[in-house]
Chains A and B, each alone.
Chain A
């Protein structure tokens, strides 16, 4: 697929990194329509730098950039986007994989659905062992779910937040216009972005084809940490706070630096 950059944000390596990363890159190489550009945004972690310097990307057109600022997921993606030179970009997490038909389908559906700014893949959520858990982003195709079948709108998103941006293909200009990811939105940065996008009339459409395999709750992942890592664990009060904050913050295009402050007696 021409005129598209796949951003892969990388923060650090861990013991399973190599296995995941090999499959992640393989899913790019085996596309029936290989994306024109790949942009790896890495932190300044030396181990990571060495690993990437020695990795064989074969025929993929890969550029690696270093982000010396905040290296949380949202900041990495935003930084990557600021370096994108193509009309479209996509985000691939290193522990995930595209299905080999994804970019071919983006081409096919975008030539028909010309008003769409964001194409979401039908995501297959799997366990660490690769077992099927459920689909995500599929609900827009259910009868009477949204105003227009296949499209995500603000009202249905407020009722049903279970959508994810992994693997999405988005118009770079639109992403920047609405302000990108907000790094202060801890747990609900994806939800807030989608609410903000739909609020700003960005057209979001789920391509009804399997596009992305997402490893759910991989140990060591951001959301795993939020649930199980004692130092980063999020309480149910905090989780509610982030959900409610997303519903309030989507009216603003700038990150207003939201912070959770636990109630003290």
Chain B
């Protein structure tokens, strides 16, 4: 009797997977209104999947997650990502929206080690979304690996990150789905303004760079720095268009969205090379250094060159070449290939389970 019930359940799940009717939950961090490229990436994946017939859903932990009309003190998803993303289906763990069966998929960011532990007995397909290698062990118990919680797949954003993850967890299946740089970032070819867009992971680094620059190069005290955090994507893209250069310091960056957004806008980048060097970073496509103390000197040299219109043509060509692969088409292809692979594996697994039942009955 119980076997019959289980058989039917598995059969049902198999049909749902084949019909792409299983649910794909993407757990998302609540940044309380602070725009983050990592969140934007998750929303982008959900949107692409839905456009391609998958029932992908944004999953958030708490009820107070602001999708629309949020607290005026912080930006809601609609405010910073736009209406098209706010309208994607959302589910909340706290209100019990998360109900999964074997046909479903749960995608959990690397930071949520505790969630992986809580969901270890769930029968669904479980995937880690690893955008920041630095947070891999943040909430994991010592000695525990993702695979111990039934998380057999990893999505990450670059080959370097994939290599690193594989060096830690060789048994896990890691796939790269590269982020795309939003169409909102356009090179408007506006005449430049002497404004420097600065993006650092630690706000203290921003102040350090600004103050050191003004102290060391007082003749450039009139050059303005603009902190690029906390802006809606649209405002961010428009603001970036006015900048003469972008400064980027993020030692633990897993991908490096900001420099690519700069390049797509036609704004050169001065950056500190992160601990994991991004695959796209080349000597010719920006001004890079390993030494954070050199950043201000590079800014000074750059400003001098910019004021005299002496930037090398080759730099702009290299920037264009660099951003070429980061298109929505490429992200879509990689994402669909990945989920088709996951589906195939799931179908194999469920068919295997059904066969086992059949064999049992024959006996």
Are A and B genuine complex partners? yes
Say which residue of B191, B307, B308, B309 sits within 8 Å of A109 (CB atoms): B191
A209 to chain B minimum Cβ distance, whole angstroms, is 6
- The answer to whether B193 and A150 have CB atoms under 8 Å apart is yes
- The answer to whether A210 and B221 have CB atoms under 8 Å apart is no
B2 sits at the interface (CB 8 A): no
Residue from A101, A142, A208 having most chain B Cβ neighbours under 10 A: A208
- The answer to whether B219 and A208 have CB atoms under 8 Å apart is no
A99 sits at the interface (CB 8 A): yes
With A209-B307, A210-B307 known to touch, is A142 a contact of B191 (CB < 8 Å)? no
- The answer to whether B194 and A101 have CB atoms under 8 Å apart is no
A141 to B223 Cα, complex, angstroms = 7
A84 to chain B minimum Cβ distance, whole angstroms, is 26
With A134-B219, A135-B222 known to touch, is A141 a contact of B193 (CB < 8 Å)? yes
Residues facing B in A126-165 (CB within 8 A) are 132, 134-135, 138-139, 141-143, 145, 149-150
B192 sits at the interface (CB 8 A): yes
With A101-B308, A135-B219 known to touch, is A208 a contact of B224 (CB < 8 Å)? no
With A112-B190, A150-B193 known to touch, is A142 a contact of B221 (CB < 8 Å)? yes
- The answer to whether A208 and B193 have CB atoms under 8 Å apart is yes
- The answer to whether B219 and A141 have CB atoms under 8 Å apart is no
Q: Can you name the residue of chain B whose Cβ is closest to the Cβ of A143?
A: B224
Interface string of B192-227 (1 = CB under 8 A from A): 111100000000000000000000000101111000
A105 sits at the interface (CB 8 A): yes
- The answer to whether A122 and B193 have CB atoms under 8 Å apart is no
- The answer to whether A141 and B222 have CB atoms under 8 Å apart is yes
A114 to chain B minimum Cβ distance, whole angstroms, is 12
- The answer to whether B308 and A210 have CB atoms under 8 Å apart is yes
Interface string of A100-123 (1 = CB under 8 A from B): 010011001100110000000010
A206 to B8 Cα, complex, angstroms = 76
- The answer to whether B222 and A209 have CB atoms under 8 Å apart is no
Q: Can you name the residue of chain A whose Cβ is closest to the Cβ of B222?
A: A142
Residues of B within 8 A of A122 (CB): 307
Residue from B192, B219, B307 having most chain A Cβ neighbours under 10 A: B307
A134 to B218 Cα, complex, angstroms = 10
Residues of A within 8 A of B222 (CB): 135, 138-139, 141-142, 145
Say which residue of A99, A108, A134, A208 sits within 8 Å of B194 (CB atoms): A208
- The answer to whether A208 and B221 have CB atoms under 8 Å apart is no
A134 to B217 Cα, complex, angstroms = 12
Q: Can you name the residue of chain B whose Cβ is closest to the Cβ of A107?
A: B191
B17 to chain A minimum Cβ distance, whole angstroms, is 55
Q: Can you name the residue of chain A whose Cβ is closest to the Cβ of B242?
A: A149
Residues of B within 8 A of A141 (CB): 193-195, 222-224
A2 to B44 Cα, complex, angstroms = 48
Residues facing B in A13-37 (CB within 8 A) are none
A245 to B194 Cα, complex, angstroms = 34
Residues facing B in A81-106 (CB within 8 A) are 99, 101, 104-105
A160 to chain B minimum Cβ distance, whole angstroms, is 11
Additional pairs, 18, CB under 8 Å, beyond known A101-B309, A105-B309, A108-B191: A99-B308, A105-B191, A109-B191, A132-B219, A134-B219, A135-B219, A139-B222, A141-B193, A141-B194, A141-B195, A141-B222, A141-B223, A145-B222, A149-B224, A208-B193, A208-B307, A209-B309, A210-B308
Task: Report, nearest first, the 3 A-B pairs whose CB atoms are least far apart.
Answer: A142-B222, A208-B194, A101-B309
Chain B residues with a Cβ under 8 A of chain A: 190-195, 219, 221-224, 307-309
Q: List 30 A-B contacts (CB under 8 A).
A: A99-B308, A101-B309, A104-B309, A105-B191, A105-B309, A108-B191, A109-B191, A112-B190, A112-B191, A113-B191, A122-B307, A134-B219, A135-B219, A135-B222, A138-B222, A139-B222, A141-B193, A141-B194, A141-B222, A142-B222, A142-B224, A143-B224, A145-B222, A149-B195, A149-B224, A150-B193, A207-B191, A208-B307, A209-B309, A210-B308
